[in-house]
């Protein structure tokens, strides 16, 4: 099971997340309290391992702007978290993750319209386009219902609920932002707890999860 920690804004947190075992870090270039500047992202990314997955998060952004940020920052995958059409998601040289809001089972069908390899399932609830810390009914996304895509599960995940979510949805990756924060800031202890839970480091028993 892969883990993405999203909304990274400082080097100390980025290094800690990598050391604890995160597989990907997310950098938000959209309107958000976690928005990062290109310069700050560059400073962090240059310290990270070359092949590590660094995901840029965008909401209804111009393709030229995304491509410029990719060139400048060594971001190596993009997450499109707005109303991007299938055409908007095509033609990038990096892998594309399309985020879809899951309000009901029929929303899963939107996955078929997109050619991209990764589909991110998030909650439609909340004030912002993402990073709201709200979850959706995981039952509507149970494993076999989303075909042909690597599924990334997001929305309101925490160290306390992530194992249940994984058991129900059986995703390829889990993605967390609010659930590893304290007073609106990333909290290294929560990041460690989240990663330890998912990697099964502190659990007994024989839980079956997709890896
Ligand atoms: O994190 C943000 O601020 C953000 C802003 C705009 C679009 C997406 C954003 N983050 C993504 O939102 C989901 C859910 O996050 P949470 O764990 O519920 O806080 C996740 O995919 C983040 O990558």
Structure tokens at 108: 């899963």
Do residues 80 and 86 touch, judged by C-beta distance below 8 A?
no
pTM: 0.93
Report whether residue 171 contacts ligand 1, using a CB cutoff of 6 Å: no
Share of the chain above pLDDT 90, in %: 80
- How large is the C-alpha radius of gyration of the chain? 16
State which ligand 1 atom lies nearest to the alpha carbon of 82: 7
Structure tokens at 24: 């990907």
- Domain ranges in the chain are 2-198
Decide the pairing of beta strands 53-58 and 173-176.
unpaired
> Is 6 tagged catalytic?
yes
Class at the top of the CATH hierarchy for domain 2-198: alpha beta
In tens, the pLDDT along 181-200 reads 999 999 999 999 999 999 99
Decide the pairing of beta strands 185-186 and 181-182.
antiparallel
In tens, the pLDDT along 128-172 reads 888 899 999 999 888 655 666 899 999 999 999 999 999 999 999
Which one is catalytic: 6, 88, 89, 175? 6
Does the pLDDT at position 202 exceed 70?
no
Task: State the distance from the centre of ligand 1 to the C-alpha of 208, rounded, in angstroms.
Answer: 27
Which stretches of 74-170 are DSSP H helices? 162-169
Q: Give the N- to C-terminal CA distance of the chain in Å, as an integer.
A: 4
Task: State the distance from the centre of ligand 1 to the C-alpha of 177, rounded, in angstroms.
Answer: 6
């Amino acid at each position: 099971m892969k883990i993405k920690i999203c909304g990274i804004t400082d080097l100390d947190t980025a290094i800690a997340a990598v050391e604890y075992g995160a597989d990907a870090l997310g950098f938000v270039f959209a309107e958000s309290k976690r928005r990062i500047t290109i310069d700050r992202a560059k400073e962090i990314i240059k310290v990270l391992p070359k092949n590590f997955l660094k995901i840029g998060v965008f909401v209804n952004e111009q393709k030229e702007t995304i491509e410029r940020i990719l060139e400048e920052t060594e971001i190596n995958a993009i997450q499109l978290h707005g109303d991007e059409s299938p055409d908007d998601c095509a033609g990038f040289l990096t892998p594309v993750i399309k985020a879809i809001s899951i309000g009901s089972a029929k929303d899963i069908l939107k996955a078929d319209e997109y050619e991209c390899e990764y589909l991110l399932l998030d909650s439609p609830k909340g004030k912002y386009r993402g990073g709201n810390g709200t979850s959706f009914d995981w039952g509507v996304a149970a494993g076999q219902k989303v075909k042909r895509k690597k599924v990334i599960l997001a929305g309101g995940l925490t160290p306390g609920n992530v194992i249940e979510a994984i058991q129900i949805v059986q995703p390829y990756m889990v993605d967390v932002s609010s659930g590893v924060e304290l007073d609106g800031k990333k909290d290294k202890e929560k990041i460690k707890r989240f990663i330890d839970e998912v990697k099964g480091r502190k659990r007994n028993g024989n839980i079956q999860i997709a890896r």
